[in-house]
Amino acid sequence: MKRISLDPVNGLCGAIFVGVGAFFAVQSLLLDIGTALRMGPGYFPLVLAGVLILLGAIILVQAVRAGSEPIGPLAMRGMLFILPAPILFGLTIRGLGFVPSIFLTALLASFASHRMRPVMALILAAGVTVFAVVVFSYGLGLPFPRFGPWLAL
């Protein structure tokens, strides 16, 4: 008889995904769902909650099928640079504007890698900024001020 092993890390992650997805599915059911052609305010959150539940179920199945591996060290450098990046964006978008905020956010997040060098980080941040401006400002026409009042002379 084959022994079933559970990968505790993936099992916990899958269970968290299913739990969070179920919570938001129940919350979205309190809103008007509507139909696919006339979506209500609860339609899209319900779809996203369903996708989260499905992904959690897939991870749970994989956790039961696969053997467990030891947990490696935490990527502290990644956490120190990736987690504050959206906070920096949120704090600077109104004052600096879209272009400088995207640039600073991408620059900060790029240093999460040990292999990133300052020149390459500047090139990457500039590329992400150009891409974001082209897509969101020109392509989608979103009304973000490109430069904010903190930069007014």
What is the C-alpha separation between 121 and 128, in angstroms, rounded? 10
DSSP state of 61: H
Q: For 89-95, what is the mean pLDDT?
A: 94
pLDDT tens for residues 108-133?
999 999 899 999 999 999 999 999 99
Q: Element (H or E) spanning 80, and its range?
A: helix 76-82
User: Buried b / exposed e across 110-125, counting CB within 10 Å, b at 16+?
Assistant: bbbeeeeeeeebeebb
The better pLDDT of the pair 129, 35 is held by: 129
- CA trace torsion 48, 54, 55, 61 (10° rounding): 170
DSSP state of 146: S
- 87-96, 116-125, 144-153: least confidently modelled range: 144-153
pTM over 0.85: no
